Amino acid sequence: MSRGSEIIRETLAGPSIFKDEGALSIDYVPISLPHRDEKLKFLAQLFRFTLEKPGSMNQKVLITGNIGTGKTAVCQRFGIDLMKVAKSRKINLKYIHVNCRECRGSLFLVLKKVLGEFVPSFPQRGYSSEELLQMFMDILDKNNAFAILGLDETESLIRTEGSGPLYNLTRVHEGRLDKPMRLSLICILRQPEYLKRLDGSTLGTLQQNIIEMEPYSIEQLVAILENRVTLSFREGTVPDESIRFVAELASTTGDARYAIELLWRSAKHADLEAKRQLEPEHIRKAVSSVYPTIRGDYVKTLTRQERIVLLAIARALESSGSAYVTMGEIEEIYRIVCEELREASRAHTQLWKCVRELSASGIIEAKKSGKGVRGRTTMVGLTTASASAMRKWLEFSFTSHGRNSIDRPF
């Protein structure tokens, strides 16, 4: 037996304080969301027509709030539960949650994903997004179905395509005079400043129903964590004191994602030491390796090449000490990183394309420099994390240890 498999067998034979890690994973949608009942009730009020008089109207809702305040979780939970109730009333209602960042801010890709929910082998090419939207409406008509589209991280769509997509989506019923209204919209937005980029009437429409998610307080984070602890850990392995400590650490930002991630990673430290309980020391150890601003699901969707480019950007920024670096500086370091990783480096245009994609997904910011600064060149900065945290994180992701846990390096 190889040493590697020996280690894996030993690990599995060892004790674990976890009962079910799944309930701590990024994709888990909690059954109950402590301290978000009011928001769920408001959503239910806004969408009660879908159950009482489907087709009589359509709804547009905007959800805003800081990172980790439950925007995505509330929306997904609401969608799942609303579909259940609709089904029991024999109403064909579908909630479709699409992350615009994962669709690279493209309405075409968003709609392709939406249509994929109805027509699994949807043709790849040859249509415009307007045509796709029309096809979507036709499918809804044909099936006498109603849909709520949850557009998560809408800023990505606005950043890449401006006002157009939301304009079209919010007005889709205007040309369908005698037909039922079939499509409603929930836009989720972390950065409200993006609203300024919308045209006046789309903005007005969206602003009629705003749900604001406030950051969580310590007590609220404690309640959220207690809930997850019951689901994920063996009884008696996570003392109240540890839960409170994690909540306190996360309360500066009020970010539930950070709290849950910290809990998960602390527990991994406890398991590593074969302890029967999660102790404050495990949490302290975990703090140094959890970067609140680097989101696992952000990086999960990146290709290897994109991670290499991102690493080059992080290193360039770190060594320059400035907020932005030029494409030239990035390219130089990019070649070195490729050599280190024994990866063939791509040509300038490919590198440029990659930077544009990263910028569309919001991980970096790419902008044209002002005239005379350094000629007219593209300047690149990091928006989601400090350069050193990003560098460490990415370097880890290329190690054999990190490769297998790219979304959650430990």
Ligand X SMILES: Nc1ncnc2c1ncn2[C@@H]1O[C@H](COP(=O)(O)OP(=O)(O)OP(=O)(O)O)[C@@H](O)[C@H]1O
Q: How far apart are CA 4 and CA 172, in angstroms?
A: 57
Q: What does the alpha-carbon distance between residue 46 and residue 1 come to, in Å, rounded to a whole number? A: 60
Burial class for 297, CB neighbours closer than 10 Å (0-12, 13-18, 19+) = middle
Judge contact between 171 and 209, C-beta under 8 A.
Answer: no
Shorter beta-carbon distance to ligand X: residue 247 or 338: 247
Judged by beta carbon distances under 5 to 8 A according to partner kind, the member of Mg ion, ligand X, none in contact with residue 101 is none
68 binds, among Mg ion, ligand X, none (CB under 5 to 8 A by kind): ligand X
**Residue 249: CB minimum distance to Mg ion, A:** 21
Give the shortest CB-152-to-Mg ion separation in angstroms: 6
Q: Which does 257 bind (CB under 5 to 8 A by kind): Mg ion, ligand X, none?
A: ligand X
Least separation in angstroms between residue 257's CB and ligand X is 4
Residue nearest to ligand X (CB): 70
Output 39 or 391, the one with its CB closest to ligand X: 39
Q: Which does 73 bind (CB under 5 to 8 A by kind): Mg ion, ligand X, none?
A: ligand X
Q: Write down the least CB distance from residue 17 to ligand X, Å.
A: 19
Q: Shortest Cβ distance from residue 213 to ligand X (Å)?
A: 6
Q: Which residues contact 140 (CB under 8 A, 6 or more apart)?
A: 146, 147, 182, 183
* CA dist 364 → 16, 259, 270, 317 (Å): 38, 24, 35, 11
d(CA 149, CA 94): 8
Nearer to ligand X, 69 or 184 (CB): 69
| Of 54 and 409, CB closest to ligand X | 409
Of the pair 64, 72, the CB lying nearest Mg ion is at 72
- Choose from ligand X, Mg ion, none: what does 210 bind? Cβ within 5-8 Å by kind: none
Per-residue b or e along 168-198, where b marks 16 or more CB atoms closer than 10 Å to that residue's CB: ebbebeeeeeeebbbbbbbbbbbeeebbeeb
State in angstroms the smallest separation of the CB of 227 from Mg ion. 19
Q: Which residues would be at the binding site for ligand X (CB under 6 A)?
A: 30, 33-36, 65, 67-73, 190, 224, 256-257, 260
Helices (H) and strands (E) in the chain, counts: 19, 8
Q: What angle do CA 343, 349, 355 make, to 5 degrees?
A: 75
Can you state the percent helix, strand and coil of the chain, rounding each to 5? 50, 10, 35
* CB closer to Mg ion, 76 vs 237: 76
Positions of E strands within 177-226: 183-189, 210-213
Q: Token pair for residue 275? A: 């302890």
- Would you say 26 or 231 has its CB closer to Mg ion? 26
Please report which helix (H) or strand (E) contains residue 220, including its range.
helix 218-232
Instruction: Give me the least distance between CB of 267 and ligand X, in Å please.
Output: 15
Please report how close the Cβ of residue 114 comes to ligand X at its closest, in angstroms: 20
For 50, the enclosing helix (H) or strand (E) is helix 49-52
Alpha-carbon span 197 to 19, nearest angstrom: 47
Closer CB to ligand X, residue 226 or residue 281?
226
Nearer Cβ to ligand X, position 71 or 269?
A: 71
Residue with tokens 């500086």: 329
| One-letter amino acid of 204 | G
Give least dist CB 23 to ligand X, A: 9
Residues that bind Mg ion (CB under 5 A): 72
